[in-house]
Amino acid sequence: MTGAVVEVLTSGVALGVHVPGLLLADRIREQGGTASVSVLERLMRPETLETTGRSKQAFHRDFRVALAGQKLARNAAVSTDPGAVEQLFTDWAQRGVTRFVVFSGFWLALIEQYVDRHGPVPVDICHVDSVRSPSFDKAGETVLPVRHVWLADADAGVVPCSIPVTRDAPLPWTSRDRRLLVHGGGWGMGTYRERAGDLLDAGFDLDVVAYEQGDLSSGGVRYFMIDPDWHPWLDDGYPPFGPAGAEPVRRTGHHGSFDLCRQALASVSKPGGGTLLDSLWSATPLVLLEPFGPHEQRNADLWISLGYGISFEDWQRKDFAVEVLEELHAALLTAEAPDYSKELL
């Protein structure tokens, strides 16, 4: 694919979808390729984005609301502004896009429109989750001839390929901080705040990703935050991130929270696809919390079956033994997955 012009299509409603797209574009560029990122929400009207922002806040504050909202969500492509879509199509045609890589199913109807006007372009559907995620289910089947690329495959029980978060080797176990990273994915969803209390009681020091000022408390916890005023549709950078109370830093090459993951004994989180990717490239085990829907449950089952993770309840039954985490880290060190970005070039 010499001279390939790759367009990476993400959605800002989930950093577990958006950040892997940014990573793929960076890895392509590092090898001399051409890649751009389009975020679906940039095609939406301001009032629609305001609704998205309110949903994000509600989903963070109550996981039950998030689970109900996931079931009610509709195809986001119907909310796009036709004028913005036309402008994007013109841009793609002028730049001569030679391949689309789709991270959100809501893009598929728009690509169908583009292909009808400008002729066929190869399309990869890149699945960050180990089974079809909700955006692809809600989008329905596409008439496009697509290639499915899986960064994790629950049905086959393998990691077929991956997107490197960094080219740096994982930190040795003996060099790691004696801390746990506790978070709720890009929107701060799930039961991680309740579990943080259990882990403090067990004697662990914690790095906790907070999502609003009301999340902050004291005692054995270092808090970090994504800039609450930043949204993926504002720019092509990684989320500004840093210690709570300090000015967030814009990391290049990969997202800032990955640096915490590399240094931790384990990451304690719901099993989102982006969290699996971080675990793989940092060789940091996952302690798995309640999933955000059936697709995340399959992610958890896969990671446990591969020896890369353990459910919170099972680790609790083992008295939160650090030796259990070290065994999972050792298994992750043996993981091998072809680099999808190299295949594209």
pLDDT of 79 over the 80 cut: no
Strands 205-210 and 99-102: unpaired
**Rounded CA gap, 240 and 247, in Å?**
9
* Dihedral pair phi/psi, residue 160, rounded to 5°: -65, -35
Query: pLDDT per residue over 283-336, tens digit each?
Result: 999 999 999 889 999 999 999 999 999 999 999 999 999 999 999 999 999 999
Residue 67's pLDDT band (boundaries 50, 70, 90)? very low
Q: Which helix (H) or strand (E) holds 127?
A: strand 123-127
Ordered domains of the chain (ranges, CATH): 5-164 (3.40.50), 173-336 (3.40.50.2000)
**Given pLDDT bands bounded at 50, 70 and 90, which one contains residue 164?**
very high
45-67: average pLDDT: 54
How does DSSP assign 72-91, residue by residue?
H---GGGGB-HHHHHHHHHH
202 has pLDDT over 90: yes
- Considering Cα of 112, then 113, then 119, then 122, what sign does the dihedral take? negative
Pairing of strands 241-243, 221-226: antiparallel
Return the closest-CA partner of residue 341 out of 59, 10, 101, 12. 101
Residue 70 has pLDDT above 70, yes or no: no
Parallel, antiparallel, or unpaired: how do β-strands 266-269 and 241-243 relate?
unpaired
Q: Judge contact between 261 and 181, C-beta under 8 A.
A: yes
For residue 77, the model assigns a pLDDT of 53
181 φ/ψ angles, rounded to the nearest 5 degrees: -95, 125
